[in-house]
Amino acid sequence: MGTKMRRRDFLKSASTLAVAPLALPVSEALAAQSTAALQHAALTFPKGFVWGTATASYQVEGAVKEDGRGPSIWDTFSHIPGSVDRNDTGDIADDFYHRYKEDIQLMQRLGVTGFRFSIAWSRIFPDGTGRVNQKGLDFYKRLTDELRAHDIEPFCTLFHWDLPQALQDKYEGWRGRETAKAFAEYAGFVAGQLHDRIHNWMTINEFPSYINSGYGEKPHNAPKMQSTRKQLAQTSHNAILAHGLAVQAIRANAKNARVGIAQNTNGAMPVVETPEHIAAAKKAIRHFNEPYDVPILEGKYSDRYLKQLGGDAPQFTAEEMKIISSPLDFYGVNIYSTIEVVAADNEDGYLVLQHPKSYPKLVADWLYYNPQSLYWIPRLMQEVWNVKEMYVTENGCAAEDHMTEDGHVYDTDRVNLLRNYFTQMQRATAEGIPVRGYFLWSLLDNFEWTRGYTQRFGIIYVDYASQKRTPKLSYDFYQAVIARNGLA
Ligand code: NOJ
């Protein structure tokens, strides 16, 4: 068969496939097509959506003995051999205390409009209460001035787990109600001092991670204080009381404050999106968050929670429940994954599905790959608790990053994760679910608590020996998303 024949056959079969003749020259057609493709793919976010990155004091600052900072429970704990992988500590971390200017430049290049960081309580009050350390305060003034000079809005967390050691020693940390009062004093003081620079405040980061994991029945985080069920329930109560007292103290001391929280609300997701499974997920999310989110958002503990605890239930007053549920301007949620449920004909009305062994996961053993969490958690927060304004205060990926010989980190796993999580977050905002901003965890690789420096969450690679920063491929990806305010 000759070439001509084959060509004719091809054209014949093509015409049976009803391929339309090109009306434009090829180059123009291709250009038009790519514009159309771009428009089609324009999964954009609302105007003014805050794109940010997140960090926390002990994980990045280092300089633990500098300028009068008092010790925190994480200094003590990380120095006890065997507490942290490879006995890593936060002594130096990313040396952010000295390098914040360089890091803010990297943020500016990235294009972020917000930066979430935390204040180390013991830099301000080295003993937890009483004596103020002006030099500690000055650091956060310098930091926030620099952010503002680069048009980056500071979002400040007041407590990200580094409790002053003095309060652990004096009151057994969060086991003591006095710690809640001390926290409110600290929060009010800092808000009064920094309100001209900081408008967005988050009281506390992730209750379960420092209460249940620090004071639980089987604790593994600082201060690793084993408790009975009764002690734990009271400790959880003290923590939400601290949150409520701090909300009031911030408002009393800072006129323009917008006050929120950064909580890792346990998500529930209907595996199948039908009304019966969605209704099941709504029931589940209330059950999964009984010690923290329910009292904060509903003003009371659920009957089910109190009944389950029986004689171990916390002691509280009606007045305290009012304080705990003080109105917030926004709810910040740290979202990495979610529990999956289906409707069931049982007392709860749902069944929790265990992750099969082959379920995709990142390098952290808890980090199941579930982009839909960025849609379902905000949606259920709105539908179940009528939350009117939300931020994703954390989301990100622990990956095994390697630098190539020519100095690149091609973290395609992180890019893949972010792209798919963003798609689901866009689905939420497109439906009018009030997610106002997103803070990627994390700007830099950093001290990942008991995992030390073995797990990297940054979009900027940190060589800890030299402190050299190298933006990863995910940094370029995020930069393009921010520039477009949409999927890139
Ligand atoms: C939650 C915590 O707030 C943060 O400190 C931690 O590093 C990330 N998640 C990743 O585990």
352 forms beta bridges with: 341
335 domain residue, yes or no: yes
Distance 362 CA to ligand 1 centre (A): 14
403 domain residue, yes or no: yes
- Is residue 8 over pLDDT 70? no
Q: Which atom of ligand 1 is nearest to the CA of 449?
A: 7
Q: Measured from the CB, is residue 448 less than 6 Å from ligand 1?
A: yes
22: confidence class by pLDDT, cuts 50, 70, 90: very low
Distance 55 CA to ligand 1 centre (A): 9
394 forms beta bridges with: 334
- Is residue 24 over pLDDT 80? no
Q: Which of 206, 261, 368 to mutate to test the pocket of ligand 1 (most atoms within 8 A of CB)?
A: 206
4 domain residue, yes or no: no
447 domain residue, yes or no: yes
Average pLDDT rounded to a whole number, residues 286-302: 98
3 domain residue, yes or no: no
- Is residue 7 over pLDDT 70? no
Q: Measured from the CB, is residue 441 less than 6 Å from ligand 1?
A: yes
Distance 205 CA to ligand 1 centre (A): 9
pLDDT reported for residue 4: 42
Total domains present in the chain: 1
Average pLDDT rounded to a whole number, residues 153-182: 98
Q: Of 38-52, 195-209, 389-403, 431-445, which gets the smallest average pLDDT?
A: 38-52
285 domain residue, yes or no: yes
228: confidence class by pLDDT, cuts 50, 70, 90: very high
Instruction: Render 111-130 in DSSP notation, one character per residue.
Output: T-SEEEEE--HHHH-TTSSS
Average pLDDT rounded to a whole number, residues 466-488: 97
95 domain residue, yes or no: yes
Q: Measured from the CB, is residue 330 less than 6 Å from ligand 1?
A: no
39 domain residue, yes or no: no
Distance 107 CA to ligand 1 centre (A): 19
Q: Which atom of ligand 1 is nearest to the CA of 56?
A: 5
pLDDT reported for residue 67: 98
Q: What is the pTM of this model?
A: 0.92
Distance 63 CA to ligand 1 centre (A): 20
Q: Which of 61, 117, 209, 211 to mutate to test the pocket of ligand 1 (most atoms within 8 A of CB)?
A: 209
Question: How does pLDDT run across 318-346, given as a tens digit for each residue?
Answer: 999 999 999 999 999 999 999 999 999 99
Q: Measured from the CB, is residue 206 less than 6 Å from ligand 1?
A: yes
Distance 31 CA to ligand 1 centre (A): 44
308 SS3 class = helix
Question: Long-range CB contacts (< 8 A, 24+ apart) of 296-302?
Answer: 296/240, 296/243, 296/244, 296/261, 296/263, 296/324, 296/325, 296/328, 297/325, 297/331, 297/385, 297/387, 298/325, 298/385, 299/324, 299/325, 300/325
CB 182 within 8 A of CB 129: yes
Q: What is the spatial distance between Cα 131 and Cα 137, in angstroms, rounded to a whole number? A: 12
- Is residue 20 over pLDDT 70? no
283 SS3 class = helix
192: confidence class by pLDDT, cuts 50, 70, 90: very high
pLDDT reported for residue 317: 98
Output the residue whose Cα is nearest ligand 1's atom 6: 448
- Is residue 13 over pLDDT 50? no
Distance 392 CA to ligand 1 centre (A): 13
Question: How does pLDDT run across 138-150, given as a tens digit for each residue?
Answer: 999 999 999 999 9
Element (H, E) at 202: strand 200-205
Q: Measured from the CB, is residue 445 less than 6 Å from ligand 1?
A: no
Q: Which atom of ligand 1 is nearest to the CA of 161?
A: 5
Percent of the chain scoring above 70 in pLDDT: 92
CATH number for position 91? 3.20.20.80
268 forms beta bridges with: 339
Top-confidence residue, 55 or 39: 55
Angle between helix axes 473-484 and 412-430 (nearest 10 degrees) is 20
Q: How many CA atoms lie within 13 A of 206 on its CB side?
A: 21
Percent of the chain scoring above 90 in pLDDT: 91
- Is residue 476 over pLDDT 50? yes
Q: Which atom of ligand 1 is nearest to the CA of 367?
A: 11
CB 114 within 8 A of CB 152: yes
pLDDT reported for residue 42: 76
Q: Which atom of ligand 1 is nearest to the CA of 206?
A: 3
- Is residue 26 over pLDDT 70? no
Average pLDDT rounded to a whole number, residues 362-378: 97
Number of H helices, E strands in the chain: 19, 13
> According to the 3-state scheme, what is the secondary structure of 37-60?
HHHHCCCECCCCCEEEEECCHHHH
Q: Measured from the CB, is residue 56 less than 6 Å from ligand 1?
A: yes
Output the residue whose Cα is nearest ligand 1's atom 7: 448
Q: Measured from the CB, is residue 140 less than 6 Å from ligand 1?
A: no
The average confidence (pLDDT) of the chain is 94
- Domain span at residue 205 reads 9-14+47-484
What residues act catalytically?
A: 206, 394
